[in-house]
């Protein structure tokens, strides 16, 4: 067990400016945002801030009626918080590991529960996973991000990226899937031969199949979400 004097502890854990720009990893699980204007973060992700920063929950019509309707179906998991002003903002999500990505015109799909923060220059839209709504626990939806700017995503433990090629598709557990490139085609497939091993309501193993050219990010952890109360057909 490590023991510190008070001054040693302060010196060891003290926040340090690394000069990395807008998004800076203070630790592997704590993101510092050097705010000068506006940023979108996952609601509830703020753990600390300094400076003149104002926080607002996403306005009902801020992103249009279509997104509001989809947010209603997917629940609180898609709620965003807008931070405006100048200062340092610290965000985290249940101690999950944070990865910072720079979009340069590409598109990226992120599991809605794994999206931590992104720049307002990035276009986004919620994509419902309707086909499996009744098969898996609720909360499975993804957010499509595209354009120019920084995105921070989270994963339980270390993420692993798998390359997908036309002759070598990748299958994943939806609950362990963090993100995938927008160039991929994805669909849901079931394997009833695994039903005796999978404790899901449908009795079937639900898998995501990715094909084309691109990559898939997975985590060594199956996230369990709250039961979905809305019917999405």
Query: What is residue 174's predicted lDDT score, i.e. its pLDDT?
Result: 87
d(CA 205, CA 116): 28
Sign of CA dihedral 44, 45, 48, 50: negative
Secondary structure tally for the chain: helices H, strands E: 2, 15
Please name which of 226, 101, 225 lies closest in space to residue 174, comparing C-alpha atoms. Answer: 225
Query: What is residue 113's predicted lDDT score, i.e. its pLDDT?
Result: 87
Query: What is residue 27's predicted lDDT score, i.e. its pLDDT?
Result: 94
Query: What is residue 188's predicted lDDT score, i.e. its pLDDT?
Result: 84
Query: What is residue 89's predicted lDDT score, i.e. its pLDDT?
Result: 98
Show Cβ contacts of residue 14 under 8 Å, excluding neighbours closer than 6 positions: none
Just give the CATH number of 18-218. Answer: 3.60.160.10
Place of tokens 């920063």: 53
Query: What is residue 98's predicted lDDT score, i.e. its pLDDT?
Result: 97
Query: What is residue 45's predicted lDDT score, i.e. its pLDDT?
Result: 95
DSSP string across 152-172: EEEESSS-EEEEEBTTB-EEE
Query: What is residue 127's predicted lDDT score, i.e. its pLDDT?
Result: 77
Query: What is residue 40's predicted lDDT score, i.e. its pLDDT?
Result: 94
Query: What is residue 10's predicted lDDT score, i.e. its pLDDT?
Result: 87
CB burial of 14-48 (b: ≥16 within 10 Å; e: otherwise) equals: eeeeeeeebbbbbeeebbbbbbeeebbbbbebbee
Cβ neighbour number for residue 216 with a 10 Å cutoff = 23
In DSSP terms, 107 is beta-bridged to 146
Q: Name the region of 190 (left: φ>0; alpha: ψ -120 to 50; beta: rest).
A: beta
Is residue 82 within 8 Å of 58, Cβ to Cβ? yes
In DSSP terms, 80 is beta-bridged to 42
Q: What is the mean pLDDT of each run of 10 residues along the chain (233 residues)?
A: 82 80 95 96 95 82 52 54 96 96 95 93 81 52 92 96 96 93 90 56 72 96 58 32
Query: What is residue 72's predicted lDDT score, i.e. its pLDDT?
Result: 47
Which two tokens mark 140? Answer: 């499975």
d(CA 100, CA 110): 13
| CB-count burial class (<10 Å; 0-12, 13-18, 19+) for 113 | buried
């Amino acid at each position: 067990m490590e023991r510190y004097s008070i001054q040693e502890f302060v010196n060891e854990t003290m926040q340090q400016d690394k000069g990395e720009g807008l998004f800076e990893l203070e630790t592997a699980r704590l993101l510092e945002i050097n705010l000068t204007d506006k940023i979108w973060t996952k609601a509830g992700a703020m753990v600390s801030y300094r400076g003149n920063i104002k926080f607002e929950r996403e306005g009902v019509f801020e992103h249009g009626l279509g997104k509001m309707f989809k947010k209603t179906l997917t629940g609180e998991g898609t709620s965003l918080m807008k931070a405006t002003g100048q200062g340092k903002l610290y965000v985290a999500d249940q101690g999950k590991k944070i990865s910072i990505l720079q979009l340069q015109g590409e598109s990226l799909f992120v599991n809605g529960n794994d999206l931590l923060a992104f720049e307002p220059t990035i276009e986004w839209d919620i994509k419902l996973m309707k086909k499996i709504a009744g098969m898996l626990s609720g909360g499975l939806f993804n957010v499509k991000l595209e354009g120019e700017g920084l995105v921070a995503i989270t994963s339980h433990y270390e993420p692993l990226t798998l390359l997908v090629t036309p002759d070598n598709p990748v299958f994943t557990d939806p609950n362990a899937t963090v993100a995938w490139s927008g160039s991929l085609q994805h669909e849901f497939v079931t394997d009833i031969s695994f039903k005796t091993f999978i404790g899901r309501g449908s009795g079937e193993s639900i898998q995501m199949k990715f094909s084309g050219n691109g990559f898939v990010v997975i985590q060594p952890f199956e996230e369990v979400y709250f039961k979905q109360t809305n019917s999405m057909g």
